[in-house]
Amino acid sequence: HKPDSSLMRCLSRSPPAAARQLVVGLSSSVGWASAAGARTASGSVLSHIDAAGAASMVDVSGKATTKREAVAGATVQLGPTAFEALSDNAKGDVLAVARVAGVLAAKRTADLIPLCHPLLISHASVDFELDAAAHSLHITASASCAAGTGVEMEAMTAASVAALTVYDMCKAASKGIVISELRLLRKSGGKSGEWRARVEERGAAATAPV
């Protein structure tokens, strides 16, 4: 096999220069980046992938401790039968259990998501809106803390576990319940500051806070 000419030119230089050239070549061909994370072809950085391409926990020891807040949402599409059962018979118990489940999940996020940092949560909450027109339940979960990293995953975990709890408690009425639209709605704090998702309005007439 004939050696690659570009590699041979690189190795013919002085050792430091050759090493630098080789690293640059590898970085451009496979999308590696510095220790800050792996850079994709589009220029995005995957912070949980190190320069060698391996999964890695982000070192936040050098980040400033600031107030961090995040809000996430999810929708439970119950369908007519389960929505009627939730509205007429067991709304209080179902949503009370789902609310507690979401708060507990926010506090245990690092036990569920492998590379999340364990955070001392200052506050977590879960709220619900019934959407009669769509036979759906909209869930909004929030989390806050003072730390060197954000609480986006805590808010999203709270929303997802609250939604799963609603499914568990309503599945006897319908197995076809769908959980959808799990996403971050907004966050604040840290180097990146405030971020908000573009959210379609559901219409005040269709929803009722619970």
Residue 202 is classified by DSSP as -
* Upper half-sphere CA count for residue 22 (Cβ side, 13 Å): 14
Judged by DSSP in three states, 97 sits in helix
CA pair distance 145, 136, nearest whole angstrom: 30
Residue with tokens 């090493």: 19
93 a catalytic residue: no
**CB 101 within 8 Å of CB 161:** yes
Considering the candidates 88, 111, 127, 168, report the single residue annotated as catalytic: 168
CA angle, residues 124, 177, 128, in degrees to nearest 5: 30
β-bridge partners, 49: 55
Residue 119's alpha-carbon distances to 108, 152, 202, 210, in angstroms, are: 9, 11, 33, 28
Backbone angles phi, psi at 168, to 5 degrees: -60, -40
Residues known to be catalytic: 168
